[in-house]
Amino acid sequence: MNILVYEAREDEREALRRQGETLGVELTVCEEVPTLENAALAAGHQGVSILGQGQITAALLDAWHALGVRYLSTRTVGHDHIDLGHAKSLGMRVCNAAYDPDGVADFTVMLMLMCLRHYKQAMWRGQVNDFSLAGLQGRELRELTVGILGTGRIGTRVIRDLSGFGCRILAHSHHENPDVAGLAEYVDLDTLLRRSDVISVHMPLLPATRHLICRETIAKMKDGVVLINCSRGELADIEALVEGIESRKIGALGMDTSEGEEGIIHADHRVDILPNRNWFYLHQFRNVVMTQHMAFYTDAAVGSMVSCGVRGLWQMANGLPCETEL
């Protein structure tokens, strides 16, 4: 089998090489983000593996299909960047990654603590030997109510992690997860928004969840609410976040993902003009911690992403069950 691996980072290459060798698969590895313009790179490959920075539109799928591509893997858990319905209509089989939720959950709790303890400001001051305390008085989690939106694998792991901190935990989700029993109280969305001091979003990006955090929902939250997003940027309307920070309705933001992050994240922009004004504007506030969509980025997760990305294609092409097929 021949596979074209798009968006291969330097740190994936050795694992990709080993995985290909183990499975007897021929891998072509490139850095390009998939687009219609570079679709021809896939000629002669049955399988294509991607990482999630490009939009996999119907037109791109058609182009790949015409070149003989029959299997697609995304080395990501999220798959909102793929037109799955169109892939299905072409008979193209698609799988994703299934790395453990622990890395993202750890990062979520870290952002909560950084926000509650004003750590961005403390770190900035430390750079210039300013070790003063003024303005850095924080809040303790055990005195707070944390609201978790979405109790899939990651939301539930965050709830487990938080249960050791002694805070009250509220949850709201499309499906109630039995693993949450005894750790969090399920409530309706409005109750969670009204009662939570900290709110963290862990939902997939769907038409129904896009801009779940918007002017209307922010207005229902407590004054000074801490908002965390380590899921998908588009779950929160970035204009509404800017207004919330400017008006001080939002006390702090911890965002590993943000709307309009494409073209910014995972690259060095030291000498560039950033392509998104809102992103840059929010980024400079002392009470906004923005990271480069890196919550997933651990040794364990990267190993699993590479393995799912190549093995999944090999399984589907060889008529074997693929546990991550979408």
Point out which residues bind ligand COI (CB under 6 A).
Answer: 51-52, 76-78, 97, 293, 296
The residue among 92 and 97 lying less far from ligand COI, judged by its C-beta, is 97
- Write the burial class of residue 159 (CB in 10 Å: 0-12 exposed, 13-18 middle, 19+ buried): buried
CB of 294 to ligand COI, least distance (A): 8
- Concerning whether 232 is annotated as a catalytic residue, the answer is yes
**CA 184 remoteness from chain centre:** 23
The residue among 4 and 221 lying less far from ligand COI, judged by its C-beta, is 4
Q: What residues have CB less than 8 Å from 141, skipping those under 6 apart?
A: 112, 113, 116, 162, 165, 166, 167, 198
CB of 94 to ligand COI, least distance (A): 14
CB of 77 to ligand COI, least distance (A): 4
- Evaluate whether 45 touches 69 at the Cβ level (below 8 Å): yes
- Concerning whether 118 is annotated as a catalytic residue, the answer is no
- Concerning whether 14 is annotated as a catalytic residue, the answer is no
**Torsion over CA of 249, 124, 199 and 167, rounded to 10 degrees?**
-120
Residue tagged 């801009």 (tokens): 211
Q: What is the DSSP string of 165-219?
A: TT-EEEEE-SS--GGGTTT-EE--HHHHHHH-SEEEE-----TTTTTSBSHHHHH
CB of 145 to ligand COI, least distance (A): 27
Q: Which of 7, 12, 259, 261 is catalytic?
A: 261
The residue among 19 and 76 lying less far from ligand COI, judged by its C-beta, is 76
Q: Which of 125, 153, 293, 311 is catalytic?
A: 293
Rounded Cα distance between 282 and 302, Å, is: 29
- Evaluate whether 201 touches 212 at the Cβ level (below 8 Å): yes
The residue among 63 and 212 lying less far from ligand COI, judged by its C-beta, is 212
If we measure between CA atoms, which residue out of 5, 4, 11, 6 comes closest to residue 296? 11
The residue among 78 and 260 lying less far from ligand COI, judged by its C-beta, is 78
139, amino acid identity: R
CB of 97 to ligand COI, least distance (A): 6
If we measure between CA atoms, which residue out of 149, 104, 90, 42 comes closest to residue 293? 104
Q: Which of 118, 232, 234, 311 is catalytic?
A: 232
The residue among 51 and 235 lying less far from ligand COI, judged by its C-beta, is 51
Tokens linked to 48: 């294509």
CB of 251 to ligand COI, least distance (A): 26
Q: Which residues are catalytic?
A: 232, 261, 293
